[in-house]
Copies of this chain bind each other. A is one copy, B any other.
Amino acid sequence: MKLERIRNSDLHQKIMSAEQACDFIEDGMTVGMSGFTRAGEAKAVPKALAEKAKLNPMKINLMTGASLGNDLDKILTEAGALARRMPFQVDNTLRKAINNGEVMFIDQHLSETVEQLRNKQLPLPDVAVIEAVAITEEGHIVPTTSVGNSASFAIFAKKIIVEINMLHQPELEGLHDIYIPSYRPTRTPIPLVKVDDRIGSTAIPIDPEKIVGIVFTNKSDSFSTVSEPDDETAMIAKHLVNFFEQEVAEDRMPANLGPLQAGIGNIANAVMMGLLDSDFKDLTMYSEVLQDSTFDLIDAGKLSFASGCSIILSERWNTQVFNNLDKYRDKLVLRPQEMSNHPEIVRRLGIIAVNTALEFDIYGNVNSTHVCGTKMMNGIGGSGDFARNAHISVFVTKSIAKDGAISSVVPMVSHVDHTEHDVDILVTDQGLADLRGLAPRERAVEVINNCVHPDYRPAMLDYFERACERGGHTPHILEEAFSWHTRLETQGSMKQS
């Protein structure tokens, strides 16, 4: 059974334990691992590596697609094994280490990491550790539930360790579409013109000589922890669906909206669920991560095709999808994150991008990453790849957080991930602000009237009016711009007492 998964029999001799495979990873090395939004990460080698680091202190520079599952970011952090980490994470323990300055975190647009490797602007991985369902006759690697950066990591690394996870169905083979842009100066257009185009291969083409170890595992991906829509997220979804209906009515969007992208997390998932109760059909997705809502929409006959770079599901949906892959096979493709997020394609296809903000300000600037301007939450992820070039760039957030101690709409964001130039629509449970074609002073009125929670509206209006008295294209009172944040830090609430 196991050996059938390694169809190139020369490679059978490379089978070893995770501990043995770890011998290829040395202190100071740069390691590229599979894994994206807690799907398809190598499971055994990182764990063995943490054990090794606990005995003999060592640190690596770890690159992945995005976040690792099965608490691996936590385990590696606790073992002191991480010197540097890029380009994304969502783990509480690692987050603390980053914010304490113990792990150097490089927060990147997710389409750009492998471009920077290709151009030698980042150190190339010494070793790649890639989860696979199989190795082909040619010695090529068939990824599992995410592609992420795995293809380029394997191509760039000097040595490759493959983890074959027997728990993943072999039927995953065929789901992937691995396309790698050619080198400049002879790079050609990416030939993808429709969400369901296949332009690459189903396995990662590498020289099998580079495979130094093959480890068998048998462990599930983590299940997603998205919560059911609540009153606020349902309201956000409702405002957005109303907006889409208007756009179609006014002929600014086609009847099926155009390819949808939805960010990670609870709110984006809830927004997609909102489409379930709408009249829209023939929807498509060209997104990064496919969550439960993707499959709800497929099963409801509303979504005809979904392109992503990873699939992360709740336990219920996980069983449903991966035990019935034939049902979904012709409606799915998984691509490298460079392709799922590529600005060339995002602009060409005219994506409807929906991402979640931590906070946004009255002029339309968005903070996706830094709590009170300093503490990293997760990272910018792919939100910038999509927002910049989308047909419409939407950011959603609840109007308040932490039982109202925080207003997620603020006078000035404490960190900018998406500038006013890249934001078209803002939505909270309170309503929707359409910023297209508006000057900053006009945007502020839209945002204050439609998005700010009533508890904070008078204070916001007061700030804006006093700022306007001082003048400027984008009126602000610099010495007060962050007073809501500093009040939160010193008094536990943004509310004026």
Residues in chain A within 8 A of chain B (CB atoms):
84, 86, 98-101, 104-109, 112, 115-116, 119-123, 184-191, 193-194, 250-252, 254, 258, 342-344, 347-350, 365, 370, 372-376, 380, 384, 388-389, 391-392, 412, 414-421, 424, 436-439, 441-442, 467-468, 470-476, 478-479, 481-482, 485-486, 489
Q: Report the Cα distance A496→B240, complex, angstroms.
A: 49
Q: Is the CB of B437 within 8 A of A122?
A: yes
Contacts A472-B376, A473-B376, A478-B489; is A101 near B441 (CB within 8 Å)?
Answer: yes
Given contacts A121-B437, A373-B474, A414-B476, 10 further A-B contacts (CB under 8 A): A104-B438, A107-B473, A116-B437, A120-B251, A373-B472, A380-B421, A384-B421, A478-B482, A479-B482, A482-B482
User: Knowing A121-B437, A185-B349 touch, does A417 contact B419 (C-beta < 8 A)?
Assistant: yes
Partner of A189, one of B115, B191, B370, B391: B191
CA distance A418 to B418 in the complex (A): 9
- Cβ of A390 to closest chain B Cβ, rounded Å: 10
Residues of B within 8 A of A472 (CB): 99, 370, 373-376
**Can you give 13 A-B contacts (C-beta < 8 A)?**
A104-B442, A107-B473, A115-B347, A120-B251, A120-B252, A188-B193, A189-B191, A343-B347, A373-B478, A374-B475, A384-B419, A384-B421, A417-B419
* Majority-rule SS of A interface residues: loop
| Residue of B whose beta carbon sits closest to that of A109 | B421
Q: Is there contact, CB below 8 Å, between B191 and A100?
A: no
CB of B485 within 8 A of CB of A478, answer yes
Bound-state Cα–Cα, A479 to B481, Å: 9
Specify how many copies of this chain sit in the oligomer: 2
Q: CB < 8 Å: which of B185, B190, B389, B470 contacts A374?
A: B470
Separation of A236 and B98 alpha carbons in the complex (Å): 34
Contact across chains for B391 and A184 when beta carbons are under 8 A apart: yes
- Chain B residues lying within 8 Å of A389, measured Cβ to Cβ, are 343
Q: Assess A374 versus B471: contact at CB under 8 Å? Given A421-B109, A489-B478.
A: yes
Q: Return chain B residues, CB-CB under 8 Å to A468.
A: 101
Contacts A439-B106, A442-B104 known; A416 to B365 CB distance under 8 Å? yes
Q: How far is the CA of A412 from the CA of B372 in the complex (A)?
A: 13
User: Which B residues are CB-close (under 8 A) to A419?
Assistant: 380, 384, 416-419
Bound: A194/B185 CA distance, A: 8
**What's the Cα separation between A470 and B184 when bound, in Å?**
44
- Beta-carbon contact of B348 and A344 below 8 Å: yes
Contacts of A489 in B (CB 8 A): 478
> Min CB distance, A446 to chain B, in Å?
13
**Chain B residues closer than 8 Å to A99, beta-carbon distance:** 471-473
